Amino acid sequence: MKTVKKSFNILFIVLFIILAVYAISLFVLLGWGIIKSLQSEMDFILQGGKAWSMPQDWTIDNYLIAFESIKYTIPLDLGGGDVYFDEMLLNSVIYAGVCTLLTVFCDCSVAYLTTKINNKFNRVINFIVYFKMLIPLYGTMPANIKLLTNLGVMDSFMGMFLMTFCFGGTNFLLFQAAFKSLSNDYIEAAIIDGASQFSIMFKICFPLIRTTIGVLFITLFVTRWNDYMTPLIYLRKNPTAAYGLHYLDQKGNTSYHSYIVNKIAGFYIFIIPTLLIFLFAKDKLMGNLTVGGVKG
Amino acid sequence: MKEKNELTAMKPRKKERGFNSLRREQNIFYWIMIVLPLIQFVMFYIYVNLDSFLLAFEEYNPISNKFDFVYFKNFQYIFEDFSRPTGAIRKAFNNSVLAFGLGLLMQPLNVLIPYYVTKKGVGSEFFKVLLFLPSILSSMVLGLLYKYMVDAVIPGIALEYFNKEIMPPLYNFDSRFMTAWIFGAWFGIGGNILVMTGAMSQVPVSCVEAAHIDGCSATREFFAITFPLIYPTWVTLFIVGLVGMFTGGPDLYLFFGETSDSVQTLGYYINVKTLTSIAYASYPEVSAIGLCVTLITTPILMFVRWFLNRLDPNQEN
């Protein structure tokens, strides 16, 4: 009998080479960034901005300077003023944290209602979810901006909160699957016990699917933390760190030498929270997800 | 047994509440909880899409600060631009199709790499973490590091050690699109790793073992067992990719901001037009392009979905 290992053939050798090149390229990129972030700005300039040379003068000052040198100037038509990196990080926490909380709560509660409470309107909700997924509608950004402007919440956190309190998409379907797999016995027992509908949902059912809630919260939080495009369009008065770093790269300093080592240090400060989340929740995040099913 | 007795003992309390009262309580709770998400849906989906549809037939009047109905003028502009070889929308459309076409070349890797990880190839756990890492570490940070590296390190090394002058690849008009695309494709090969490995791990072990007893190689196993069984998952992911055919592509805004010029894709064109619009001037054009893209994409999506389902190797005749 041939074992699986013996049957590894040329395909696996080729894939191993590709993955090894991928790993090396990722390490080179991140390693180069770390080295540059530890090079003093003066040393970098004295070396003529040679990006490939090793630093003569190592320092961690760039990480401290990043908080002062990375700044975003709010356009005058939006009120003006400077926003520094620490404030941007705080904005990131608010944007990623609160928006994710709202989306997860909305997805989770609507998924609960459509799976655990028998109501004719559930069909409409399910239709809406599938319609949104199957018929993609493009170019609605101007209409969104118009609506937020008319509501007086454009470029504010409130506008983002309103936009993200929505249901649908893959997360909604994953919540529905989690609630479907939850036995109705818990709910029936709670009803017999005299529990209110509110208690059944919040105190019984939500805790029972806390792993799903946790994983989807973290995944969405990380996505929003890293997202620079949405704040660029809808949150110009409260720039997040991702938006601020991108802005700095594009408009802050046109010269390649200007603050490049500080900027790179800023990148590494920016990825610390998500890296910590990854380290603590690696097993949960890397757990298997299934979409579309497998033929058996 | 004890639990059952306790439940039986509690039953009268259910009767006290009554079925109708319970039903009423459930209905009230249902509507209280669903009303806000529904209002949000009406405002930010129905109203926004209707307004976007109307915008496609309007033109912004800066004097009155209102939109005037102009029938098909925006579409006429789009088609005129499209008919010119140098038209910006035409170029953006072509680049979007090119990016999607190049993305198709990556499809084999997107399936084979999860297979390697699932079959526990050498270092598979280590590679799995590395493949997932770009999703955690922010593609923006990796992208900007990549930008500094390819534009500073490569030309610098070429000049220093090979005495050859190379234009920074992201500045060079001939290479900037491919350089940006390579970043997205290369560091995105692990994008679906979790979903694909999840699907592959569900392939029945007995089926694989039987194949091995018959002397099936790993390559044969992939084509004869694994891929046919995970076909529905692959189709789902392919369709999701197809949805972003015109609006996805390389993250040009990350590398070029608002100045990507001739290498722009349709998604980039829409974003930049909206961001750089003076007041609402460009909004009708963006909405009209969006409507055109929806009208083109929807039948393509339907057809590809139907076609791929017909190709399903598991389909019973």
State the residue for tokens 């999607």.
B100
In this complex, which of B14, B237, B301 lies closest to A192 when CB atoms are compared? Answer: B14
User: Which residues does residue B69 pair with via DSSP β-bridges, in sequence order?
Assistant: B58
| A195, A204 Cβ separation under 8 angstroms | yes
Q: ipTM more than 0.90? A: no
Query: Cβ B231–A32 below 8 Å, yes or no?
Result: no
Q: If you measure CA to CA, which chain B residue comes closest to A199?
A: B29
How far apart are the CA of B86 and the nearest CA of chain A, in angstroms? 23
Query: Cβ A295–B17 below 8 Å, yes or no?
Result: no
When pLDDT is averaged across residues B24-53 and rounded to a whole number, the result is 96
pLDDT of residue B16: 55
pLDDT of residue A288: 53
| A171, A223 Cβ separation under 8 angstroms | no
Q: If you measure CA to CA, which chain A residue comes closest to B29?
A: A197
| A16, A35 Cβ separation under 8 angstroms | no
| E strands in chain B | 58-61, 66-69
pLDDT of residue B193: 84
Residues 61-100 of A with CB under 8 A from B: none
Residues 6+ apart with CB under 8 A from B96: B245, B246, B247, B248, B249, B265, B266, B267
Residues 155-184 of B with CB under 8 A from A: 156-157, 160
Collect all residues of chain B within an 8 Å Cβ-Cβ radius of residue A223: 135
**Does A233 contact chain B (CB < 8 Å)?**
yes
Written as one string, the DSSP assignment of B224-287 is IIIHHHHHHHHHHHHHHHHHTTTT-SS-HHHHHTT--GGG--HHHHHHHHHHT-STTTTHHHHH
Amino acid making up residue B92 = A
Query: Cβ A275–B7 below 8 Å, yes or no?
Result: no
Query: Cβ A294–B199 below 8 Å, yes or no?
Result: yes
Considering Cα of A102, then A104, then A108, then A111, what sign does the dihedral take? positive
Residues 9-68 of A with CB under 8 A from B: 9-12, 15-16, 18-19, 22-23, 25-26, 29-30, 32-33, 36, 49-52
Written as one string, the DSSP assignment of A44-71 is HHHTTT-TTSPPSSB-SHHHHHHHHH-E
Residue B179's nearest CA partner among B146, B134, B135, B138 is B146
Mean pLDDT of chain B: 88
Q: What is the pLDDT of residues B170-194, one digit of tens each?
A: 888 889 999 999 999 999 888 788 8
Amino acid making up residue B22 = L
Per-residue model confidence as pLDDT tens for chain A (296 residues): 444 444 557 889 999 999 999 999 999 999 999 998 998 888 887 876 677 778 888 999 889 888 887 888 888 888 888 999 999 999 999 999 999 999 999 999 999 999 999 999 999 999 999 998 888 888 899 999 999 999 999 999 999 999 999 999 889 998 999 999 999 999 999 999 999 999 999 999 999 999 889 989 998 999 999 999 999 999 999 999 999 888 888 865 544 445 688 888 999 999 999 999 988 888 877 765 555 445 44
State the residue for tokens 């001037």.
B281
| A119, B27 Cβ separation under 8 angstroms | yes
Q: If you measure CA to CA, which chain A residue comes closest to B138?
A: A226
